[in-house]
Amino acid sequence: MSIGRINRTKGIALAAITSTAVAAGVILIQGAADADPTPSLADAKKQVADLQHQAETAGESANELRGQISASQARVKALQTAIGKQQGQVDAVKRQIGSLAVAGYQTSGISTTAQLLLSTNPDQFLSQASTAQAFAGQQNSALRRYQLAQGKLTDLQASEQTELGALQAVQAKQNGFVSQLNANLDKAQKVLDKLSAADRKRIEEENAREAENARKQRPTRDSTRTSNDKSIPNIPASGRGAIAINAALSQLGDPYVWGAAGPSSYDCSGLTMYAWGKAGVSLSHSSKAQAGEGRQVSRSELMPGDLIFYYSPISHVALYLGNGRIVHAPRPGKSVEIAPMDEMPINTMVRPG
């Protein structure tokens, strides 16, 4: 091979290597540009808070279906009880028909005329024939009762299947909201996983400190104050409102857990349901449902113990303490706490009971 040809071959190889390296560099640069950058601690906190709020919203949507599911389950149970009773009636009529059929068969082997001619006592036979006619009437009556009883049973069974289908549809919808809740919590965890170990520890310590500070604000059992924390002035509450407030404040520092209503964890509507339950007022486990379970009040009419609902559509609820503050279970990852009433957009206000 000539020297010129060798040099040309080396040049081609070098160009190919250079092109490959440049292409690889472009891919690496593009990959680095497409990769999610590590967020700052402040940005991570905001992203996590937003995702946790979205999880809470999905959780309250799932809670809203609790009432429908409970009512549907009650209807299914009532239908199943009715079906059991109706089946008993059908079985009883069937047994009666069976007895009549056997008795009828025993006298049906010979014609009525032949029986009369062969009878040694025609008068007695005619009397028996009259009884047989009545017997046939009983058979017809029993058959009619059976048809009615069986028809009612069929209707009840059809209603049960319809109700079961509706129940399964609502449960599937609720499961969808729960899946959304878990998906948002998973996304929040992925944001945290991008932080350094030191930053993750800092967030954990902040959350633990907030929960501990909240627990220190719990009212003492032998105190006449609403709270034993001197930074919280006496709350001018009375009656059932005072009972509800003290019940809620006694849970300060307890963790937010979706679907929980005590005794050691709560979601937002679970806390208000628990607190007002202690005051003898039954509320649904749903912020949207609770908004319709009382009398709406204006901001100027607010009294301690009233419920404040947030966002549109409603997805959060808190108890008003007075002095512009609330007690609530904020969102996943947080604990029951006292907060300013205006830190979230207010939708409506209601006085339960």
The catalytic residue among 156, 181, 268, 336 is 268
Backbone angles phi, psi at 179, to 5 degrees: -65, -40
Strand partners, 333: none
Quick check: 350 and 298 in contact, CB under 8 A? no
Question: Does residue 53 have an active-site annotation?
Answer: no
- Rounded Cα distance between 216 and 227, Å, is 9
Spatial CA neighbour of 63 closest among 308, 313, 338, 231: 313
Give the list of residues 6+ apart from residue 279 with CB closer than 8 angstroms, or none: 240, 241, 243, 244, 247, 305, 353
- Tokens 């032998």 appear where? 222
Spatial CA neighbour of 320 closest among 300, 304, 331: 304
Question: Does residue 28 have an active-site annotation?
Answer: no
The catalytic residue among 45, 328, 331, 334 is 328
Q: What is the largest CA-CA distance in the chain?
A: 143
- Rounded Cα distance between 316 and 305, Å, is 16
Spatial CA neighbour of 105 closest among 134, 147, 128, 136: 136
Burial 61-97 (b: 16+ CB within 10 A, else e): bbbbbbebeeebeebbeebeebbeebeebbeebeebb
The catalytic residue among 316, 325, 331, 334 is 316
> Which residues are identified as catalytic?
268, 316, 328
